[in-house]
Amino acid sequence: MTAPNDYGESNPLETNQKILICDDAVAACQRAANLFAAAIHGWPDLKIGLATGGTPVKFYARLVQLYQEDILNFEAVKTFNLDEYIGLAADHPQSYRSFMNEQLFSHVNLDPANTFLPSGIASDIDAEVQRYEQQIADAGGIELQLLGIGHNGHIAFNEPGSARDSRTRLVDLTERTIQSNARFFDSIDDVPRQAITMGIGTILEAKAIVLLATGGDKADAVKRAIEGEVDESNPASFLQTHANVTYVLDNGAASLLERRE
Ligand code: F6R
């Protein structure tokens, strides 16, 4: 095992709010992955929260690479994903469980029993969301959470209007989110209209958060998250109320920020 400094990053659990701006999307993904690597190195039984979507694909590729190079060990790590589509079974190709299998789980030494996602086909959704919250609590809470950001400022599937103290629950996806996610499906009609998502309150209980955003199309959402008013109409703005958030951005996503330190 190499020392944490070999990742070129300090453990994000030991730092405060900061903005890291990278040249391009690949560099941003690698930097975010290096932060996770430094944290896992410090605490091999780390509980991490994970996101899906287009943004973190290269983030997971970097974690897999660090594992293959024998630098990172997931043996005792537990993972909790932010969300899952309603109506998609775990083995559906577009389920977030399948995404995680493809991008990370099947390539590293994570114990499958340590990888948690809500079930999108649970017969009793109320019981399922409570079960998921309980699983997080039983693990002792999430220590390091990865987030992406939606064009409308959503984090996980907490769409505008979500309360700061919201918990894991069933939500309706907005038309904009359905359109954004249609690229992963054969047709927009196939995109589920509902999901189970961790709540904003649940997310804010993580000890440290890394928000990863890349591309100029995210610049407005990023600016409103970091510099905008803290308000339910802009769920990512609630991150301003958390003591330890690292925003890892590429130049495009950071392009509208006034403060770029
Ligand atoms: C995914 C999730 C979402 C995405 C967001 C950005 O688990 O919770 O909030 O992070 O929709 O998605 P991409 O990366 O596809 O732009």
pLDDT digit string, tens, across residues 19-40: 999 999 999 999 999 999 999 9
Residue 154 appears among annotated catalytic residues: yes
- Which of 11, 81, 152, 158 does the annotation list as catalytic? 152
Query: How far apart (Å, rounded) are the C-alpha atoms in residues 85 and 157?
Result: 10
Ligand 1 geometric centre to CA of 53 (Å): 5
Q: Is 185 left (phi over 0), alpha (psi -120 to 50) or beta?
A: beta
Cα angle 103-39-47, degrees, rounded to a multiple of 5: 65
Ligand 1 geometric centre to CA of 203 (Å): 14
Pick from 74, 97, 66: nearest CA to 84: 97
For residue 147, which atom of ligand 1 is closest to its CA? 10
User: How many angstroms separate the Cα of 180 from the Cα of each of 87, 149, 156, 187, 244?
Assistant: 19, 12, 14, 12, 29
The DSSP element (H or E) to which 63 belongs, if any, is helix 57-68
pTM of this structure: 0.95
Residue 232 appears among annotated catalytic residues: no
Q: Give the closest residue (by CA) to ligand 1 atom 9.
A: 156
**What integer pLDDT is reported at residue 121 of this predicted model?**
98
**What integer pLDDT is reported at residue 261 of this predicted model?**
59
pLDDT digits (tens, 9 = 90+) for 244-258: 999 999 999 999 999
Assigned token pair, 63: 């974690």
97 pLDDT exceeds 80? yes
